Amino acid sequence: MNDLNIRVMGDAAVLVEVGETLDVSLNARVHALARELDQVRGVVSIVPGYTTLLLEYDPALCEYDALLQQILRAAESRAASSIQDTRLIEIPVRYGGEFGPDLEFVAQHNGISVEQVIAIHTRDIYQVFMLGFAPGFPYMGIVNEKIAAPRLETPRQRVPAGSVGIAGRQTGIYPRESPGGWRVIGRTDVKLFDAQSEPPTLLRAGDRVKFVNVGNS
């Protein structure tokens, strides 16, 4: 990762850019770099994105020049890494019917059957690129282009907790009831966010997820 772009973000933060394209292997390097830098003295917080890493640090414990060298060393040590030290989590999903009101749209939009949509969605393993939008909401990909679908033109005011959706070539799970514009194809009973738990989120950036079809009854 010699092509890092490091930008100063105020007096105590830097943004590390490792690329510009949404890519599973590139995102995996972001998380590998995050794990490496989490050990650096003076780093206060690390927020990984699709292709970026936002680091907040304490200048009293780690000056910028020293942090810069740590970032470059970490990048070199992880340059050839792939997905490492990540968890594979299976999520049971009830597809279609009242649980997946947009399943038929996704099928028709792509000219395939509902059964094929389910088969493709459950066949692949998705990487959690990052968490956002709502606490515990995982942005995952990359969705097979055969089941990719646009967002709703008008977002729903109420999307039930556990709803599994598709937007473009990403898939996600609503951790709690909220408005939303993703195409909902199913629902899971798995609880993704619990404020009383530690950590409060089931999934974390860098995890891998596989969906399992458990019917819609």
At residue 82, the pLDDT reads: 47
Within a 13 Å sphere around the CA of 3, how many CA atoms are in the beta-carbon half?
6
What is the rounded distance in angstroms from the CA atom of residue 162 to the CA atom of residue 159?
9
What does the pLDDT average to over 159-168?
97
Confidence of residue 27 (pLDDT cuts 50, 70, 90): confident
Q: pTM for this structure? A: 0.81
Better pLDDT: 86 or 116: 116
Whether the per-residue pLDDT at 201 is higher than 80: the answer is: yes
Domains defined along the chain, listed by start: 5-77 (3.30.1360.40), 88-213 (2.40.100.10)
Return d(Cα 206, Cα 200) in angstroms, integer.
16
CB 103 within 8 Å of CB 178: no
Tell me which residue has tokens 């079809």: 213
Structure tokens at 29: 């390097």
Task: State phi, psi for 125 to the nearest 5 degrees.
Answer: -110, 130
Using CA atoms, how far apart are residues 102 and 121, in angstroms rounded to an integer? 14
What percent of the chain has a predicted confidence (pLDDT) above 90? 70
pLDDT band at 107 (very low <50, low <70, confident <90, very high): very high
Q: Tens digits of per-residue pLDDT, 66-91? A: 999 999 988 887 544 545 567 999 99
